[in-house]
Structure 1
Amino acid sequence: MSVFDVLSERGFIKQMSHENEIKELLEKEKITFYIGFDPTADSLHVGHFIALMMMSHMQRAGHRPIVLLGGGTGMVGDPSGKDEMRKMLTPEFIAHNIECFKKQMSRFIDFSDGKAIIANNADWLLNLNYVNLLREVGVHFSVNRMLTAECFKKRWEKGLTFFEFNYMIMQSYDFWKLHQDYGCIMELGGDDQWSNMLAGVELIRRKEQKPAYCMTCKLLTTSDGRKMGKTEKGALWLDAEKTSPYDFYQYWRNVDDGDVENCLSLLTYLPMDEVRRLASLKDAAINEAKKVLAYEVTKLVHGEEEARKAQEAAEALFGGGVNLDNVPTIEIAAEQMSAKVIDVLTAAKVFSSKREARQMIAQGGLTVKDAVLSDPEATLNPGLFDADKSLLIRKGKKKYFRMLVK
């Protein structure tokens, strides 16, 4: 089975520039390909996860990946799917984010012995001569064609700046540059990048009269079309400091039944026979499939030990276990044992504000020990704490915290 068959069976592939040629190429040859990542934050998020998994499957099949970090394109910002212009980032912020990305990617991609390459497009984009770029690349782009691109359509009403209009040219130049330097012949990426990727393919084919290809993977969405990876705290990050392994585990443990097969196919390496078996479970039994999903995905992102801890914490809370050591912990000083509940929980970032805390209490959504809190002015008291000086707090139906006196 070629990697094309693997990616097809697991549901990765959305669009291809030259389907028959790509299929034959991946069956018969080992190629160099790339995926670009703009460093707009100091952590990858779950939206990058599918692209990393697609890259990993390609590498496992013997193809060489280039991770292209957007030190240059990040200075402009991709308008694809955006209602307004992205915030401009400083070079220092971008450089810091690139270092964070490199560490996280090494969990998915093997960079040893030249098996994969990391490149930064700042190395060539920031030193480009504008007139030379117009002469070398600009002549190959039709403005009429660019204006029909899906990535620009959302911006018509508010206005698309010329600044952002150049992004497609920059991304196409990246592909051409990687083609020149490394023999890269294929770009992979999310389906929202289709227009930009196609432009790069066409640039190489026109400028070099050589084959080049692109293939998109579908975006991570729920069965009813909503984007996955959003939590009440924002994005689902791959950095343990931004989204704890326990919260990460719980996100996948609580996906809808209809999303289990899709997530197992795209976000784990489980054989497809096992994926289909787990996804076919009905009613209460589907929870076993969700536990497998949560464990496998957390193991990939955070390592086996953190996945085990998250699993044990969840079992302790929901499966009648007793070990709460790995439940998210809020440490308080002894003098806070009589403080206002909402003061302590807001300071610990359980709530983003006291207003949010009061709203949840008014809705009966905060439980302290075994009692639903009804008074927003209620205080803690030493008698609430167990012998080990811990106290279990529940926010909503499924978010648990262990308050512990230092």
Structure 2
Amino acid sequence: MNVYDVLKERGYIAQATHEEEIRALLANEKVSFYIGFDPTADSLHVGHFLGMMVMAHMQRAGHRPICLIGGGTGTVGDPSGRTDMRQMLTDDIIEHNCNCFKKQLQRFIEFDEGKALMVNNGDWLRKLNYIEMLRDIGPHFSVNRMLAAECYKQRLEKGLTFLEFNYMIMQAYDFMELNRRYNCKMEMGGDDQWSNIIAGVELLRRKYETPAYGLTFTLLTTSEGKKMGKTAKGALWLDPSKTSPYEFYQYWRNVNDSDVKNCLSLLTFLPMEEVIRLSSLENEQINEAKKVLAYEITKIVHGEEEAAKAQEAAKALFSGQGVLDNAPSLKISAEMLGSRLLDLLVEAKVFASKGEAKRIIQQSGLSLNNEKISDIDRLLTSADFSDGFCMLKKGKKKHYRLTLSNN
């Protein structure tokens, strides 16, 4: 099957500039394509993961991904989907974040023997002569069309800075440069990048009469249209030090029933026949599909060993079977015994604040060793520990293994 049809069947494709031409191109050539990642943080998150899955499907079909790290565009910040200006990052932070991205991307895409490339747009954008770029690129951009672009609309409400206004031009320049250097013929990105991608496609076609193509993939949203990947702690990160494999596993284990098929299609490599079978399960059986979903995604992101540990921990906590050693653990110093449980849990960031802790305790949402905690002044003592640990439950789905440490 043509990889375009694979992407379409699995629900990735949102928009394409030249659908039939792209389908024919992918059927008849080994195509170099790119997706850009701006280094706005020191880790990729689950929103990026969708693009990485697209790259993996394309690479498996014989095409060459170019992972473009935004060492240049990151100095400006993409205004797409924003109501306020992004925080400007220092060069040192941008370099650090770029290096973090490189390490993570290498776990998903095969770069050996030129099967994929990783490049940094800072290599050319930081060297540009402003006047030369204006004369070379400026005539091919209409300010009226740029202002009408979806990526600028929300920013116009509060005021679009000239700095941000240049972002579309910089992204289009990237496509042109990658075409020159690597014969890159296609740009891909999330559907919020449609206007920016069209700008690059049109620049190449107008300036050089070069065939160029753009494709956007659907954003990762729930059946209600809300963005997925947000947790109580913030984004669902791919870095295990920011979101543990267990937390990552549990996020997918707890998705709504109506989101199971979409997640299985977009975020796993399971055959569509299996996706359809699993997502058609009903009532309690749908939980089996969610377990498969959580395991498969965690395996891709964190590896088979960590996925198995997360699965084992979930089994131990929720069904009383399995190995508790793999459950999320909090160390409690022996010196802290006799302190208020509430204070210890706020310090350990189980609760964001004392106010949240008090509210949940008053709502009977906290248990220690299967006993409801009703007293906000309840102390944690050695009597709560058996074999060096005790079990804490926050709400219906958050479990922690408190271990006693002598340090």
Q: Report if TM-score (shorter chain) is over 0.5.
A: yes
Deviation at 1:361, TM superposition (A): 1.3
Give the structure 1 partner of residue 308 of structure 2.
308
Deviation at 1:322, TM superposition (A): 4.8
Deviation at 1:75, TM superposition (A): 0.3
Give the structure 1 partner of residue 224 of structure 2.
224
> What does 1:368-379 align with in structure 2 at a 5 Å threshold?
368-379=368-379
Give the structure 1 partner of residue 38 of structure 2.
38
Is 2:252–2:290's contact at 8 Å kept on the other side of the alignment? Answer: yes
**In structure 2, what residue type is equivalent to 1:398?**
K
Give the structure 2 partner of residue 270 of structure 1.
270
Q: Deviations over 1:358-393 (max 9, x none)?
A: 22212221111111111111101211111x110100
SS in 1 for 2:39: coil
SS in 2 for 1:154: helix
> What does 1:382-393 align with in structure 2 at a 5 Å threshold?
382-386=382-386, 388-393=387-392
Give the structure 2 partner of residue 285 of structure 1.
285
- The question of 1:351 aligning with 2:386 is answered no
Distance in 2 of aligned mates of 1:241 and 1:380: 27
Is 2:312–2:323's contact at 8 Å kept on the other side of the alignment? Answer: yes
Give the structure 2 partner of residue 405 of structure 1.
404
Give the structure 2 partner of residue 252 of structure 1.
252
Give the structure 2 partner of residue 183 of structure 1.
183
Distance in 1 of aligned mates of 2:174 and 2:323: 51
Distance in 2 of aligned mates of 1:43 and 1:252: 19
Distance in 2 of aligned mates of 1:364 and 1:89: 43
Deviation at 1:352, TM superposition (A): 2.1
**In structure 1, what residue type is equivalent to 2:22?**
I
Distance in 1 of aligned mates of 2:311 and 2:289: 13
SS in 2 for 1:241: coil
- The question of 1:149 aligning with 2:149 is answered yes
Deviation at 1:155, TM superposition (A): 1.4
Distance in 2 of aligned mates of 1:299 and 1:17: 34
> What does 1:31-70 align with in structure 2 at a 5 Å threshold?
31-70=31-70
- The question of 1:24 aligning with 2:18 is answered no
TM-score, normalising length from structure 2? 0.98
**In structure 1, what residue type is equivalent to 2:398?**
K
**In structure 1, what residue type is equivalent to 2:378?**
A
Distance in 2 of aligned mates of 1:157 and 1:150: 12
Q: Deviations over 1:19-39 (max 9, x none)?
A: 110011111111100000000
Deviation at 1:335, TM superposition (A): 2.1
**In structure 2, what residue type is equivalent to 1:303?**
G
Distance in 2 of aligned mates of 1:251 and 1:162: 39
Distance in 2 of aligned mates of 1:68 and 1:316: 41
- The question of 1:136 aligning with 2:125 is answered no
Distance in 2 of aligned mates of 1:329 and 1:238: 20
Deviation at 1:240, TM superposition (A): 0.4
Distance in 1 of aligned mates of 2:169 and 2:322: 58
Give the structure 1 partner of residue 84 of structure 2.
84
Distance in 1 of aligned mates of 2:113 and 2:203: 31
Give the structure 2 partner of residue 15 of structure 1.
15
Distance in 2 of aligned mates of 1:156 and 1:119: 32
Deviation at 1:337, TM superposition (A): 2.5
Distance in 2 of aligned mates of 1:282 and 1:238: 30
Q: Deviations over 1:297-318 (max 9, x none)?
A: 0000000010000000000111
Q: Deviations over 1:322-359 (max 9, x none)?
A: 52111111111212222210121122121222222122
**In structure 1, what residue type is equivalent to 2:85?**
M
TM superposition outliers: structure 1 runs of 4+ over 3 Å: none
Indicate the percent of aligned positions where both proteins have the same amino acid. 63
Unaligned runs of 5+ in 2: none
SS in 2 for 1:351: coil
SS in 1 for 2:67: strand
**In structure 2, what residue type is equivalent to 1:228?**
M
Bigger mean CA offset, 322-331 vs 51-60: 322-331
Deviation at 1:395, TM superposition (A): 1.0
Is 2:253–2:290's contact at 8 Å kept on the other side of the alignment? Answer: yes
**In structure 1, what residue type is equivalent to 2:192?**
D
SS in 2 for 1:155: helix
Give the structure 2 partner of residue 364 of structure 1.
364
Give the structure 1 partner of residue 72 of structure 2.
72
Give the structure 2 partner of residue 122 of structure 1.
122
Deviation at 1:88, TM superposition (A): 0.2
Distance in 1 of aligned mates of 2:162 and 2:383: 65
Q: Deviations over 1:37-67 (max 9, x none)?
A: 0000000000001100001100110100100
SS in 1 for 2:325: coil
Is 2:312–2:322's contact at 8 Å kept on the other side of the alignment? Answer: no
Q: Deviations over 1:268-298 (max 9, x none)?
A: 0001000100001010000000000000000
SS in 2 for 1:391: strand
Is 2:245–2:302's contact at 8 Å kept on the other side of the alignment? Answer: yes
- Alignment RMSD: 0.8
Give the structure 2 partner of residue 394 of structure 1.
393
Bigger mean CA offset, 330-339 vs 43-52: 330-339
CA 1:322–1:33: 2 relative to 1, 3 Å: closer
TM-score, normalising length from structure 1? 0.98
- The question of 1:206 aligning with 2:209 is answered no
Deviation at 1:140, TM superposition (A): 0.5
Distance in 2 of aligned mates of 1:401 and 1:113: 45
SS in 2 for 1:227: coil
SS in 2 for 1:67: strand
